[in-house]
Amino acid sequence: MAKTLISQSNIKMITVREAASLTTSYVASDGFNIQGANQLQLLVSFIKGESDGCRLKIEFSEDGSTWYQESMISEFPGVNDVKHKPFTRKVEDSANLILSMPISASFFRISSQALTSGTNTSLSILATISNI
């Protein structure tokens, strides 16, 4: 079930994932209600540890139950033919990152996984949403 936010001014802060170690299986966050927002910024803090990195899969929904993964153009096989593929965001080194994107969906969630098993990994994700 999707969570609803408590608003502060025009910017809302969401804890998507508390700092925790990763597994090699995708683990999805809760779904978050972002209705009325048009900008999403993810503040990602990743500690690589003994793993080779992590992947983030960002998904959006209109109803909180049917999810749509980000996609990108991967090929131009014909004159009027463009091929889209779902994609994930890969982080290979310890880092603090900001991912910014315009949005028009009602809900979002993030799934994360370690690329390889290993000790001492940690991932936390905060999100800010706003309407600018």
Domain count, the chain: 1
| pTM exceeds 0.95, yes or no | no
Residue 108 confidence (pLDDT) above 80? yes
pLDDT in tens, 61-86: 999 999 999 998 877 766 677 778 89
Q: How far is CA 103 from CA 16, 45, 129, in A?
A: 17, 22, 9
With a CB cutoff of 8 Å and minimum separation 6, the contacts of 131 are 10, 36, 37, 38, 39
**Domain hosting residue 28, numbered range:** 11-130
Asked if residue 67 is part of any domain, the answer here is yes
Asked if residue 2 is part of any domain, the answer here is no
Asked if residue 4 is part of any domain, the answer here is no
With a CB cutoff of 8 Å and minimum separation 6, the contacts of 52 are 92, 114, 115, 116, 118
In angstroms, rounded to a whole number, what is the distance separating the alpha carbons of residues 12 and 4? 11
Q: For residues 2-20, b (16+ Cβ closer than 10 Å) or e, as one string? A: beebeeeeeebebebbeee
With a CB cutoff of 8 Å and minimum separation 6, the contacts of 15 are 125, 126
Asked if residue 3 is part of any domain, the answer here is no
pLDDT in tens, 3-46: 655 445 688 999 999 999 999 999 999 999 999 999 999 999 99
Asked if residue 6 is part of any domain, the answer here is no
Asked if residue 1 is part of any domain, the answer here is no
Confidence of residue 117 (pLDDT cuts 50, 70, 90): very high
Asked if residue 44 is part of any domain, the answer here is yes
* Residue 132: predicted pLDDT: 84
CATH number of residue 50's parent domain:
2.60.120.380
Asked if residue 5 is part of any domain, the answer here is no
* Residue 84: predicted pLDDT: 82
